[in-house]
Structure 1
């Protein structure tokens, strides 16, 4: 079978195409012929060794749409996913009519968006939700799910006018520049002069620093990424207590490792919503397996919108 692997740590450029033997399923594992694999920022961080440094040679990827030997089309968590075949332990059958890119968007990004709103932020009907990086893999789904879950107003931030148009097309009530300078003022203006209830932030850095000042009393800022930097200022406890606001974080990977299933109910709801057309996952680009390095470079440079996938033709 073919894989894209790295024999040393580094950036996307270290990935090369190789022929390796087919994997042999162990107990509880199923061999899946990979139709498409999904890309995540975690793949970049594992590749450069900054997150859970891998054993070399390393084949990135953790999610696939594919077909089992008995003909089932499945969505699955699978290690070494940048390949034509992969081993899966946990999988769910998906409709034939659901595009691979849309299905892959639901697994990590979709469940993250679901838990950000339901589990971490505890959204209540009528609340105002701000989604930073709202054209991204998690963000574009969070915009739609916030509406689905009863938000009174949804505001998305994005770095370009083109991306802001995408965000509005997803159903956001407003879309503004997500730059740190003037962030709180723009968000409040987009909410008719009122502060907001929830901010979901994948950017970090100076944007994270600015976000609390956009929150209304008892507002919640939930961090789930640091694409814009990891050097925020210390949080002022006085700011939290004076305004009764809360700052929290969410990471799907840690949640999935806890006892009980963090996946079953959210994933079932997400697949149902997508199949019914009420949730529209965006595919931010389809690349051939051999283009995995280019795909990761585009993802890192924020040149993509929505879910990025590698497809085996």
Structure 2
């Protein structure tokens, strides 16, 4: 089979397609014929040797979240899974034609929903749902700000905020082309967060006041600008630190506006994941949630990583090993 590996950290071009034996599923495992594998920002950080909390050993075969047809099952696994299209995870090496992962936690893909659409939306959709509903406590009619709204989680969060009853959704994107994509997804307004003082654009788009709920995943100066974009009594949910920058909090900033600041990394909220997973799949099946993705061959994995790093990508970047 074909698999993407790199033997040293560096630019996207260190990734090469190599030949490897097709793996065999062990006890409790399944073999996927991989139709779609998601590419994450974290994988570009690992490959580039930049800050990422999960270490890797070299050579490394990236890729975790996959969707495809179950080709074989290992000992103790229901043989009825063979031939079914499922979403799950592989231990490593999702950038490949085949991959082995645990049978536990597999999710069957509904008829009429593509593997690429599921990879693009399901994991990020569950995360966005938990952030909006359980951490952010979104109430019907409230306003929401979504950063990087054309990105992998952002494009899902924009749509789900609307589906969950937000009165006004304001996104942020770095180019005019991306801002048009966000508007087409249903955002009420989109701001250019490359401009200094962009929080003023958020307030203007929200009738002159800050939003009720803001998502934040960058840290550093963007974090402080986000606090400014929230109304008194509003909430901010941080779910990342893409800038790898410490952001000390001045308590006066919070108390003067009665702001609530929360962090999200799953944890205890995962008990609600099955509920939102079912909702996201239903939204995909009936067309209320639209996937946004760009697909690449295994050979073009470096192009996909470069698109993420150059901020020219929209939606989720996905490898389709079998075309």
Note whether the superposition's TM-score is higher than 0.5: yes
> In the alignment, is residue 299 of structure 1 matched against residue 308 of structure 2?
yes
Alignment correspondent of 1:191: 206
> In the alignment, is residue 266 of structure 1 matched against residue 268 of structure 2?
no
Q: Give 1:262 deviation, angstroms.
A: 4.9
Alignment correspondent of 1:71: 83
Could you list the runs of 5+ residues in structure 2 that have no partner in the other structure?
72-81
Alignment correspondent of 2:77: none
Would you say the 8 A contact 2:134–2:269 is kept in 1?
A: no
Secondary structure at the aligned position of 1:25 is classed as coil
Mapped partners of 1:32, 1:233: distance in 2: 42
* Deviation by residue 1:259-300 (Cα, 9 ceiling, x = unmatched): 9645322211100111010111111x1110111111111111
> In the alignment, is residue 168 of structure 1 matched against residue 178 of structure 2?
no
> In the alignment, is residue 87 of structure 1 matched against residue 100 of structure 2?
yes
Alignment correspondent of 1:209: 224
Alignment correspondent of 2:263: 249
Please point out which of 56, 59, 64 is paired with 2:61. 59
Check 1:146–1:45 CA distance in 2 against 1; reply closer, same or farther (3 A cut).
same
Would you say the 8 A contact 1:63–1:107 is kept in 2?
A: no
Secondary structure at the aligned position of 2:90 is classed as strand
Alignment correspondent of 1:98: 113
Alignment correspondent of 2:26: 26
Mapped partners of 2:313, 2:44: distance in 1: 15
Mapped partners of 2:25, 2:269: distance in 1: 25
Please point out which of 308, 319, 323 is paired with 1:310. 319
**Runs ≥4 residues deviating over 6 A:** none
TM-score (norm 1): 0.93
Secondary structure at the aligned position of 2:89 is classed as strand
Would you say the 8 A contact 2:130–2:273 is kept in 1?
A: no
Check 1:59–1:269 CA distance in 2 against 1; reply closer, same or farther (3 A cut).
same
> In the alignment, is residue 8 of structure 1 matched against residue 17 of structure 2?
no
Q: Give 1:35 deviation, angstroms.
A: 0.8
- CA root-mean-square deviation: 1.7
Would you say the 8 A contact 1:134–1:167 is kept in 2?
A: yes
> In the alignment, is residue 153 of structure 1 matched against residue 155 of structure 2?
no
TM-score (norm 2): 0.90
Would you say the 8 A contact 1:127–1:153 is kept in 2?
A: yes
Mapped partners of 1:208, 1:168: distance in 2: 23
Would you say the 8 A contact 1:200–1:222 is kept in 2?
A: yes
Question: How many pairs does the alignment contain?
Answer: 307
Alignment correspondent of 1:237: 251
Could you list the runs of 5+ residues in structure 1 that have no partner in the other structure?
none
